[in-house]
Amino acid sequence: MRVVVAEDHVLLRDGLTRLLRAYGCEVVAALEGSAGLDETLQLPEAEVAILDVRLPPTFSDEGLRAAIRARATRPGFPVLVLSQYVEQLYARELLASGEGAVGYLLKDRVADTGEFIDSVRRVAAGGTVLDPEVVAALMNRQRNAPVDRLSPREREVLELMAQGRSNQAIAEALFVTEKAVAKHINNIFTKLDLPVAVDDNRRVLAVLAWLKI
C-alpha cells in the first residue's frame, strides 16, 4: 500500500511515516503543508492519503479541500483525514459524494497504532471509518427521529457499524455472537426503513445518510 501523508507537525508526520513503514506501507510523499499536495494526490503511485484537516498556509481546511478535490478527479480515491477536534461539518463534507473509501479520525487515535493501521487498511479497501466521538455526537444530535426506535443494544451496534466495524468485530466488542449481531442489524434496517445490504460499506453509508451527516 503506497501512502501520501500531509501533516504540519513534524513529530506527528515523522511518527506516521515510521509507523506506516513498520507495517509494510510505502510512503510516497510526506508533506508539511498544502503546497504541491494537489499534484501529489494525482500521482498514479499514490494509492491512499492521510491528511491533516488543517494545513499551512491558513490552517483552516486545506487538507479537507485537497481530499475533496482529489476524490472529484479520482472517484473513490481512499482518503483518511485527521483532526484535533470533533468537527461534524468535516465529516459531512467528506461523505457528501456518497462514495466509500473515506475516514475521519481524531489525532488521538494514532496512539493506538494497531487500531490506526486497521483504519487505514479499511479505508484503502473501500470502507468508511468515523471516529467514535464523531459518531456519538451525530447520534446524540438526532432527536425525535427514527433512530429513537432502536433499543440501547441496537444503538450500540449502529454506532459500531458507523465506525466501519465488521460483524465479527462488533460481536467481539459487545461479547455476543455474530448471529446475534446479524439479528440486531436486520432489526436496525427494519426500524430505520432501510434496505438490507450485505456490503459493509454500503450499509454504513446508508446509515450515515439516514442520520443526515
The pLDDT of 148-175, averaged and rounded, is: 88
Taken in order 188, 192, 195, 198, the sign of the CA dihedral is negative
Q: How far apart are the first and last CA of the chain?
A: 29
User: pLDDT class for 148, splitting at 50, 70, 90?
Assistant: confident
Q: What is the three-state SS of the chain?
A: CEEEEECCCHHHHHHHHHHHHHCCCEEEEEECCCCCHHHHHCCCCCCEEEEECCCCCCCCCHHHHHHHHHHHHCCCCCEEEEECCCCHHHHHHHCCCCCCCEEEEEHHHHHCHHHHHHHHHHHHCCCEEECHHHHHHHHHHCCCCHHHHCCHHHHHHHHHHHCCCCHHHHHHHHCCCHHHHHHHHHHHHHHCCCCCCCCHHHHHHHHHHHCCC
pLDDT of residue 41: 97
- What is residue 21's predicted lDDT score, i.e. its pLDDT? 97
Rounded mean pLDDT, 97-126: 90
| Top-confidence residue, 146 or 167 | 167
Give me the mean pLDDT over the 13-31 stretch. Answer: 97
Q: What CATH number should be reported for the domain whose range is 2-131?
A: 3.40.50.2300
Instruction: For 181, list phi and psi in degrees, rounded to 5.
Output: -65, -45
Q: Report the predicted TM-score, pTM, of the whole model to 2 decimal places.
A: 0.80
Tell me the backbone φ, ψ of residue 80, rounded to 5 degrees. Answer: -120, 120
Cell of 139: 447520534
Q: Which fold has domain 142-210?
A: Arc Repressor Mutant, subunit A (1.10.10)
Q: Domain-by-domain residue ranges, the chain?
A: 2-131, 142-210
